[in-house]
Structure 1
Amino acid sequence: MASLVQRLYRIFVPPSQPPKVEDSSNPPIKFGILGAANIAPPALILPAKSHAEVIVYAVAARDQGKAKNFAKKHSIAKVYGGSNGYQQLLDDPEVDAIYNPLPNGLHFEWTMKALLAGKHVLCEKPMADTAEEVKQMFDLAEKKGLVLLEAFHYRFHPAIQRAKAVLDSGELGKIKSIDLKFTAPAGAMKDSDIRFNLALGGGAMMDLGCYSLNCIRYLSSSDPTSVVSAIALPLKSANIQETKIDRAMSTTLALPNDVLASMEVDLSMPWEFFPPKLFKMWVVVKCEGGDVEVQNFVLPTFWHSIKVSNKVGGTTTKRVEKVYKFADAHIDDHSKALDLGEDWWLTYRYQLEAFVDKLKGRTPQTWVTREDSIANMQWIENIYEKAGIGSRPRSNYVLPAQ
């Protein structure tokens, strides 16, 4: 508990806030934020405080007042607001990179417009509503020579990388099955939440599910071979008329080598009182010679555990690992020094380190590739198809003739 409190304090009040670099030959990266989103402070603004090469320079919002208040609260120099605010931010020559935390259904349009404006983009996940849109986004980024990253921030933290290193080491033998649950408690989100809006790319599989599917694919080092079953649970509310919105999704995936993966995601899980349980956020990988269980794989900086059960010679040994920085991760890493990170670094801070490294021509410790992002979205679509409710609607935005 003491270490948790200490980490929380350091997240919000970093022990070291290095001065921003002022080298004209290697200037800092100036970010613009599209939308005054609630995720922006933990995902970019807080991490930027401890990064010498990052300045959160501008924010745009449809509501001018909201944009001004957001900028004042977070000490952001430039503000754009109104119906043309997003485009004005993209047209600002001082902005080098865009953070796009807009609703899912707007990711495609505004990421494409950002790329057309010559900006690098860190785009929240899921990157778009369809795999074809994701492909087009990367095609344009590559054509323009720009960096585009889907913000699967948990992948940059040493905790999940340590869990994968245990599985890849062969210590436990081949993977036999994977079981993952990721839920939010009932009442955490109102019926009017964008996650329940089909036009904006809503649904549990799009929200919690994109993480869950990505984690299964990452830990197994494979893509599914088929969707065995997918059952969508609709949101039952008089205020919601969207029959294609999944409040929850239960899925079974077939992976190579006869491995089955089960996945349960729920945006409004009924409360469990005995024992008390507000949410679930864990993955268990069963292998021939033991198991790996990761608790809180998404936000491990707050708390997490990696439980390893090893069945050797008729006996079972158990250990619990907690990994907050790469010095403690025990992984093979030839791209960066193993002292990368601090125990209070959020997953987003590790992600920002990688993104800036990429922009500066350095080799990031890890990366989420084009192929990874396209495949993740394609399998989300496959799950929706199996569930009988179809993919989220494609964007109406059409790329101008080049």
Structure 2
Amino acid sequence: MASLYGFVKRIYLVFNPPAPEAPSASPLRFGILGAANIAPIALILPVKNHSDAVVKAVAARDQGRADAFAKKHGIPKAYGGAGSYQKLLDDPEIDVVYNPLPNGLHYEWTMKALAAGKHVLLEKPSTNTAEETRRMFLFAQEKGLVLLEAFHYRFHPATRRVKEIIDSGELGTITKIEASLAVPGGFIKDNDIRMVYDLGGGSMMDMGCYPLSISRYLAGADPTKVISAKADIHPKFPQIDIGTTATLAFPSLRGSIESHDGLTATLHAHFRLPPQLGFLPRWPRAFVRVAGTRGTVELNNFPGPWIYHSITVESSEHEGGPLRRRTEKHYGNLGWTTQLEAFVNKLRGHTPEHWHDAQDSITNMEWIEAIYKETGLGSRPVSTAEVPRTTAT
């Protein structure tokens, strides 16, 4: 009963966050590009209990949709129709832009937002290619602006706790990582933007960026090669990976108690997991499991630990010794809330408790592209949009 109460309370507070006790007289003013479904939980709700942030405007290609979104979420300004995104960028009352547009539009509108002098909180994956990501971050540096790829799970205490367990040496030398984010058929429809190649569609782009990111984070290192990669293809979408499984080689874990050169990570991403036995529906598969010479740790539901999660640890005092099992939970704040806190701190010139930098985002895209190359599908298309001329490009 206590766990059920805790679950209900967590969900309630996510959608009904308390107002800040002492709101700032001049908070950072956010504008949202596109009336995306993720925007309320990723930004609008966290902003409501932050003393130094406010959502000031939203832009959508359709004025009616912009108006409806603004009314529903109490946003003062709604830009719609032709040129709506640029109108928001030109608004002098906007300090920061949140960009949750389709993947293939990330590069164009982030570059234009930076050109307009706006800081940017950018949804993942950062762009369609590593080169585009590199250019964006160089441009942000050139302009003296903050750009952050919104891997919110990195800011959640459950993720940080798993990293602590690994770095403590409790599991011995890390030898294997397995990470998965996959959903059964029915979640991603044929008309979903994730199925559109020109918009940067594909399971490795959309879901796979999470298992790749957390594997790199927990390994404390970047891959050295793609050992294997295979994509599931549907005849209706020949350029889209409905699912991808890839195995990467990593160097030895930094900080482990002994040298080891056999660390591998296997990643799973899938839009349409097939039913078991041909008819039994599957549960979504969202977990990361790390194995070492003295034990394992598994974080269940790492992309959404605020809903529920469990950290299961099995370890021994020495290799081959009896395993001791325990389960931990570390809810704390919503990942998006702590991400916003870190982002605002960075903008205000303070040092965030946690941060991931430009190179982290560039490297993630490099290995997404490397996996696509190995599957034979190749990278997603490079943006052909006209973007501001800079020394970075």
**Cα distance in 2 between the residues matched to 1:277 and 1:171:** 33
**Cα distance in 2 between the residues matched to 1:87 and 1:350:** 29
Asked if 1:378 corresponds to 2:366, the answer is yes
3-state SS of paired residue (1:206): helix
Corresponding residue for 1:259?
Answer: 263
Asked if 1:74 corresponds to 2:73, the answer is yes
1:311 equivalent among 296, 306, 316: 316
Corresponding residue for 1:44?
Answer: 43
Q: Is the 8 A contact 2:17 2:46 kept in 1?
A: no
Deviations 1:285-323 (A, max 9, x none): 000100011101111011001111012252111111101
3-state SS of paired residue (2:9): helix
**Cα distance in 2 between the residues matched to 1:88 and 1:16:** 29
Corresponding residue for 2:24?
Answer: 21
**Cα distance in 2 between the residues matched to 1:75 and 1:400:** 32
Corresponding residue for 1:283?
Answer: 288
Asked if 1:395 corresponds to 2:383, the answer is yes
Corresponding residue for 1:329?
Answer: none
**Cα distance in 2 between the residues matched to 1:181 and 1:142:** 33
Which amino acid in structure 1 is aligned with residue 328 of structure 2? E
Q: Is the 8 A contact 1:18 1:51 kept in 2?
A: no
Corresponding residue for 2:239?
Answer: 244
Q: Is the 8 A contact 2:273 2:282 kept in 1?
A: no
Corresponding residue for 2:10?
Answer: 7
Q: Is the 8 A contact 1:179 1:285 kept in 2?
A: yes
Corresponding residue for 2:199?
Answer: 200
| Mapping 1:199-238, distance limit 5 Å | 199-236=198-235
Deviations 1:202-259 (A, max 9, x none): 00000110011001000001111100111000134xxx3x311000001111111221
3-state SS of paired residue (1:294): strand
Q: Is the 8 A contact 2:176 2:291 kept in 1?
A: yes
Q: Is the 8 A contact 1:299 1:346 kept in 2?
A: no
Displacement, 1:15?
3.8
Corresponding residue for 2:111?
Answer: 112
Between the two proteins, what is the percent identity of the paired residues?
53
| Mapping 1:134-153, distance limit 5 Å | 134-153=133-152
Corresponding residue for 2:255?
Answer: none
Corresponding residue for 2:303?
Answer: 298
Deviations 1:374-395 (A, max 9, x none): 0000000000000001000000
Corresponding residue for 2:348?
Answer: 360
3-state SS of paired residue (1:205): helix
Q: Which runs of 5+ in 2 are unaligned?
A: 252-260
Corresponding residue for 1:269?
Answer: 273
**Cα distance in 2 between the residues matched to 1:105 and 1:233:** 21
Which amino acid in structure 1 is aligned with residue 262 of structure 2? D
3-state SS of paired residue (1:146): coil
3-state SS of paired residue (1:30): strand
Please, what TM-score do these two structures have when normalized by structure 1? 0.91
Displacement, 1:399?
3.0
Displacement, 1:146?
0.1
**Cα distance in 2 between the residues matched to 1:151 and 1:279:** 22
**Cα distance in 2 between the residues matched to 1:352 and 1:140:** 22
Q: Is the 8 A contact 1:282 1:294 kept in 2?
A: yes
Displacement, 1:401?
3.3
Corresponding residue for 2:256?
Answer: none
Which amino acid in structure 1 is aligned with residue 339 of structure 2? Q
Corresponding residue for 1:158?
Answer: 157
Corresponding residue for 1:338?
Answer: none
Which amino acid in structure 2 is aligned with residue 69 of structure 1? A
Displacement, 1:19?
4.7
Displacement, 1:83?
1.2
Q: Is the 8 A contact 2:184 2:281 kept in 1?
A: no
Deviations 1:352-394 (A, max 9, x none): 0110000011111111111100000000000000000100000
Q: Which runs of 5+ in 1 are unaligned?
A: 326-344
**Cα distance in 1 between the residues matched to 2:147 and 2:242:** 30
**Cα distance in 2 between the residues matched to 1:227 and 1:267:** 22
**Cα distance in 2 between the residues matched to 1:175 and 1:398:** 45
3-state SS of paired residue (2:369): helix
Which amino acid in structure 1 is aligned with residue 267 of structure 2? M
**Cα distance in 1 between the residues matched to 2:44 and 2:275:** 33
Displacement, 1:185?
1.6
**Cα distance in 2 between the residues matched to 1:19 and 1:277:** 46
**Cα distance in 2 between the residues matched to 1:74 and 1:190:** 26
Corresponding residue for 2:174?
Answer: 175
Displacement, 1:120?
0.0
Corresponding residue for 1:340?
Answer: none
Displacement, 1:276?
6.5
Displacement, 1:198?
0.3
Q: Is the 8 A contact 2:179 2:266 kept in 1?
A: yes
